[in-house]
Structure 1
Amino acid sequence: MKLFKTTIFSSILLCSLFACESSDETTTPTPPDDENVESKLITADITSNFSHQVFVDFNTGTTTRTETNTWELAFNKEGVVQSNTGKKVALLMPTETDFDAINEASVSGLQYFYDDESADLTLTAWNRENFELNKPYILDLGINELAKALGFKKFIITENSASQSIIRFADLDGQNEQTTTIEKGNGFVYFSAINNQTVEVEPANWDIVLKPVTVRTGAPCFTMGPAAVPGVNCDIMRLNTSVILNQNGSVKGAKSTKADFADYEATDETDAPINQLTIEDSNFEEITADNVGNNEFTTKGDVIGKEWFHILQPHRDGVYKVYSHISFIVNDEEGNNYKLRFLAYTKDGQNGYPTFEYKLLQ
């Protein structure tokens, strides 16, 4: 898969948000003094149909843009199995315990299990829901960029060691059966059951990724009993944009606002106090290298998450309020601190283009 690397825009905030251009294979130099460090802007082209994700490495000043829909499962040395929440991939537990007995009728009435939107690696569908090796399951391949369902595969993971994973899979009717060994390396190895191949997704070094994730709206169906109609009155799963920290254990983040606004909660009510705040209410300029340690840092993947924006009523209009009054801090693998705040989610009238300003603290 092709990786598209673009420069992090070296522009001060007064620069037009969408007038800045990028060039290939370049990095942004860091001035020696904090007072001379300019704010920089990134616009992440996730697009309105969530076709891409954008990885950011603050230390080198590089972004890497990759396609969302190229994989379904990912494996790491620690035994974590991720499913691609960016294309609504889900795992299902059939009643059949024999791989060959699973067929198209097996899907009916099953619960769909998704990775948690928090990006907590202990809360992936596989690791949280007691999926086991050497037992057959069903893989919902999710959707493509046109929101068309891609169908199902039945599969068994027979090995998931530190060095490799072995997966047996086939169409529900038994056609196209394959057994593939996936060799592991650093980070996650991403696998396409559609094309029976591993694919390159994430770069070697990155701090945050701006990406689509599957989110649940409404009640889980299992809480509604016989009244449940999946996808109609429960278990409604939609894609949304989120910003996730690198879960390698060394990248940390924090959320910061002025004390007066710390208790404001996100809401879709347009006249709510939080939706009246602007960038003028931000504490961004007040965060310095001297006081950044006063913030509470965490390795939680969704410390930024979807905290920086919220859809407004009526939802059908697709209008988002960007909470530019909230600041975030990312402490990268090298120990550098960067402060950032989001400025926009729309470009040329289309959602899916989050823009944020960031600055090195030193």
Structure 2
Amino acid sequence: MKINQLLIILIAFSLGLFSCDNSESPIMEPDPASDGFIEINGGGATFPNMAFINLRTGEQTTVQRQRWDLAFSSGSDFRVLINGTTGAMAYETSATDLNQVGEAQAADLRSSGGLDMTFNNMEAILRVDNPANPLNQPIISPVSAVQADNKVYILNRGSMGADERPWKKIRIVQQNGRYLLQHADLNATTFNTLEIQKDSDFNFVYVSFEQGKVDVEPKKSDWDFVWNAGTSTTPFPQAVNGTLAYFFQDLVFHNIYGGVTAVQVLEAEISYDNFNESHLSGLTLVADNRLTIGSNWRGGGGPNMAPTIRNDRFYVMKDARGNFYKVRFLSLTRDGERGRPSFEYALVKAG
């Protein structure tokens, strides 16, 4: 073989190596963070933000709680949640036509406080999504493929840490494998419609009555828990079903619909500092109750007593990629200001 021919072959071969499509190269995911400290940006004393935490990257994503009104599940069922982070409540009417519902149907709810999130509302538990597992028991019945089964709801959008806004009437149906939302102010005789398509990358598709579809949660594989305010419950004999629903600040929900599990560990059993991979086998992590952390990480609070961190416990979480972390909350405030709690975490076992 002549030298010129050899050079041509070598040049062609080297060009082939460098012209490969980068899209064919595997995407290398960075190693999970080994440990870290995060101050949650809840937005301050009025706690306006939801803060989604990704332990693997040590990042948080914040969004205003009143940014959205309804969350449409991307799961196999057709289920819709109301915005419990603003104290929203809903009431099912017997109507299937929005024009059959108006202020007259809401009058009793207004006068009785039936759609107000207060400690005096003994029926509040009947008007909210189940705080522990909302998709398991949403206040809006699963959306049926039978049109006549889908009722009109009266919705109080909630004003807890949010602007007070007019009540709405809404109806949701299935159409061509998608959701179709109909909504209007109570006394309106015309209504708006919005088609919502599921997105398998996300737990929910979020909708605002003013803005339409809006971004709220990160992708379901990209967050582990969210700090926010919202609906919680407590045993109360005088309330319906013996359960009082009420509004609570400083709730922590782990991402049960994104495959995240969690469990509480007491320092009396094993300390945070000493907890390591060998202790994982003795734990049963919870996959179906997002209140596993909930409000348990803090105690006290009330008209005459400020809440405090419970330093006798920490939490172990397993993310969607199989990484195990231990998480310990450290403070409720920054320089005395609420809405800026902090925590530390450490990788126990990589997935």
TM-score, normalised to structure 2's length? Answer: 0.75
Check whether the contact 1:192–1:199 (CA below 8 A) recurs between aligned residues: yes
Structure 1: 4+ residue segments shifted above 6 A: none
Aligned position for 1:71: 68
- Residue 158 of structure 1: aligned partner: 173
| Contact 1:255–1:329 under 8 Å retained in 2 | yes
Q: More helix by proportion, 1 or 2? A: 2
For 1:197 and 1:129, how far apart are their aligned partners in 2? 19
Larger radius of gyration: 2
Partner of 1:45: 41
In structure 2, the CA distance between the partners of 1:209 and 1:223, relative to structure 1 (3 Å rule), is closer
2:93: which partner in 1? 94
Per-residue CA deviations over 1:208-261 (Å, capped at 9, x if unaligned) read 11111123576676579xxxxxxxxx977324221111123521111111447x
**Please, which runs of 5 or more residues in structure 1 have no aligned partner?**
1-26, 32-36, 225-233, 261-281
Aligned in 2, Cα 1:191/1:133: closer, same or farther, shift over 3 Å?
farther
3-state SS of 2:168 partner: strand
Q: What one-letter code is carried by the residue in structure 2 that aligns with 1:306?
A: S
Q: Residue 190 of structure 1: which of 188, 206, 216 is its match?
A: 206
CA distance in 1 between counterparts of 2:218 and 2:327 reads 21
1:209 lines up with 2:231 in the alignment: no
In structure 2, what is the Cα distance between the partners aligned to 1:137 and 1:258?
A: 46
Q: Distance in 2 between matches of 1:241 and 1:196?
A: 27
On the 8 A contact 1:85/1:214 being kept in 2, the answer is yes
1:250 is aligned to 259
State the AA in 1 paired with 2:153.
Y
After superposition, residues 81-230 of structure 1 pair within 5 angstroms as 81-94=80-93, 96=95, 98-110=97-109, 111-112=114-115, 113-127=127-141, 133-143=149-159, 145=161, 147-159=162-174, 163-174=177-188, 177-186=191-200, 187-193=203-209, 195-204=210-219, 205-216=222-233, 222=240
Match of 2:321 among 316, 323, 334: 334
State how far apart, in whole Å, the 1-side matches of 2:53 and 2:30 are: 12
Root-mean-square deviation (CA, aligned residues, Å) is: 3.0
Do 2:233 and 2:244's aligned partners in 1 also have CA atoms closer than 8 Å? yes
The alignment partner of 2:105 has SS state of helix
Is the 1:215–1:240 Cα contact (8 Å) retained in structure 2?
no
**SS state at 2:281 partner:** helix
> 1:94 Cα deviation (Å)?
3.1
| Deviation digits for residues 149-184 of structure 1 (CA, Å, limit 9, x no counterpart) | 3121111112177x4210111111115620111122
For the residues of structure 1 that align with 2:324 and 2:134, how far apart are their CA atoms? 22
User: Residue 132 of structure 2: SS of its match in structure 1?
Assistant: coil
What's the offset of the Cα at 1:348?
2.1
SS for the counterpart of 2:67 is: coil
Contact residue 329 and residue 343 of structure 2 kept, 8 A: yes
What percent of counterpart residues are identical?
25
Cα shift at 1:80: 2.3
User: 2:278 is paired with a residue of what secondary structure?
Assistant: coil
The structural deviation recorded for 1:189 is 0.2
Tell whether the 8 Å contact from 2:253 to 2:291 is kept in structure 1 after alignment. yes
Q: Does the alignment pair 1:285 with 2:273? A: yes
Q: TM-score, normalised by structure 1?
A: 0.73
Q: Does 1:240 align with 2:258?
A: no
Code of the residue aligned with 1:183 in structure 2: it is Q
Separation in 2, partners of 1:63, 1:28: 17
The more displaced of 59-68 and 117-126 is 117-126
Query: 1:123 is matched by which residue type in structure 2?
Result: Q
2:118 matched to which residue of 1? none
CA displacement at 1:346 relative to structure 2: 1.4
Alpha carbons of structure 1 residues 108 and 96: separation in structure 2 relative to 1, 3 Å: farther
Per-residue CA deviation, residues 44-84 of structure 1 (Å, 9 max, x unaligned), is 12232221011111112221111111111111233221111
Counterpart code for 1:340 = V
Aligned-pair distance for 1:345? 0.8
CA–CA separation in structure 1 for the residues paired with 2:348 and 2:253? 21
2:10 corresponds in structure 1 to none
Q: How many residues align?
A: 295
Counterpart contact for 1:133–1:157, Cα < 8 Å: no
The alpha-carbon deviation at position 135 of structure 1 amounts to: 1.7
Confirm or deny: 8 A CA contact 1:51 1:67 kept in the other structure.
yes
Change (3 A) 1:353 1:176: farther
What amino acid does structure 2 have at the position aligned with 1:212?
Answer: A
Deviation (angstroms), 1:284: 0.4
Are the equivalent residues in 2 in contact too, given 1:311–1:319 (CA < 8 A)?
yes
